[in-house]
Homo-oligomer: A and B are copies of this chain.
Amino acid sequence: MKGFASDNNSGVHPDVMSAILEVNTEHAVGYGGDEVTARAEALFQRFFGEKSKVFFVYNGTGANVIALQAMTRPFNAVIASETAHINVDECGAPEKHSGCKMLTIKTPDGKLTPKLIQQHLHGFGFEHHSQPGVVSITQSTEMGTLYTVEELKKLSDFVHTNGLFLHMDGARISNAAAALGCDFREITTDVGVDVLSFGGTKNGLMFGEAVVFLNPDFAGHAKYIRKQTTQLHSKMRYIAAQFEALLANELWRKNAEHSNRMATLLAQELEAVKEIQLTQKPEVNGVFAIVPSHIIQPLQEKYFFYMWDEARNEVRWMTSFDTNEDEIKGFVAEIKRLLQ
């Protein structure tokens, strides 16, 4: 049965699986030298601009640490939200791979602002301090919230004015673009993001993410960094084909819109349940809520999901491209039953 644990608990979208099956013929040059990869790379360039350069990798942590290594030297610091995936969910991979210090910011909704970032902008040129080099934001955030285009532009300008560069963890960038009614470009290239980790797995792929260098200055060494980071796949066509399927025919948007809609539905259905208190505005495909503690375990026995903040009984419910309305309604019905 489907749960609400994570959008990576879902399977592979049928169109993506078909694309995989289609390329499973004969031999192909390894490590990305094949035609499928060439096509997928061209597609990314079409979506992100002619100067952009994409590198396919295995997973999100891989994408993030490649991006950060390309953008920094070990004496730099990376500024991120305290709740950022790179800070809390990668077992210290960013520090280990890049050698950099992580400077974190407490923020109620997972979003950074120029004002919040300001606290870490000092010590430039002072050799005792790690030198701030990169601001990393997540779009949509780990809290299910969104940066608007205007917020991104303002943030990007602020970051560059201060001599830093902007990384975007886009593990759920499709959900963001769908929610904002944008194309990818409008929330990345056009606002001045330097390097993007583009997510695939959480939007219907079997495996595969991409590092997209919008600022080509950082792409020069990326192929070596990808290899040394253990993120270069030999049978690359199987990643490339998935991305082709995702980007063609707006599948990325359909999947994302659907999962966003399911979260909205869930939030709406919960409005009537006074014992449940939403803690974040559900802007994409996640619902964060404080729930009476006695129903949590029985509910988890039927539907797998994670606690977000045990101290205050806050849970996280994620919807996926394959979540359907009946499942949402069944879930809410079960919540109501347990609350009686």
Contacts and interface: CB of A to CB of B under 8 A. Distances in A.
B207 A127 contact: no
A232 interface: yes
Interface stretch (A23-31, A37-45, A283-291): A23-31
8 contacts: A11-B26, A11-B235, A27-B304, A58-B231, A61-B230, A61-B232, A92-B101, A127-B227
Nearest to A16: B24
Contact of A207 (B12, B17, B128, B207): B207
A93 B11 contact: no
A190 to B, nearest CB: 29
Given A59-B230, A59-B232, A221-B75, A24 B17 contact: yes
A67 to B, nearest CB: 12
A230 B93 contact: yes
Contact of A129 (B26, B58, B88): B88
Given A62-B230, A206-B238, A207-B233, A95 B99 contact: yes
Given A9-B30, A20-B206, A127-B223, 6 more contacts: A1-B26, A9-B28, A27-B320, A88-B128, A92-B100, A207-B207
Interface residues of A, number: 73
Interface in A55-79: 58-59, 61-62, 65, 69, 73-77
A268 interface: no
Contacts of A92: 74-77, 99-101, 130, 228
A180 interface: no
A26 B12 CA distance: 9
A27 B12 contact: no
Contacts of A234: 6, 8, 59, 201
Contacts of A230: 58-59, 61-62, 65, 90, 93, 97, 229-231
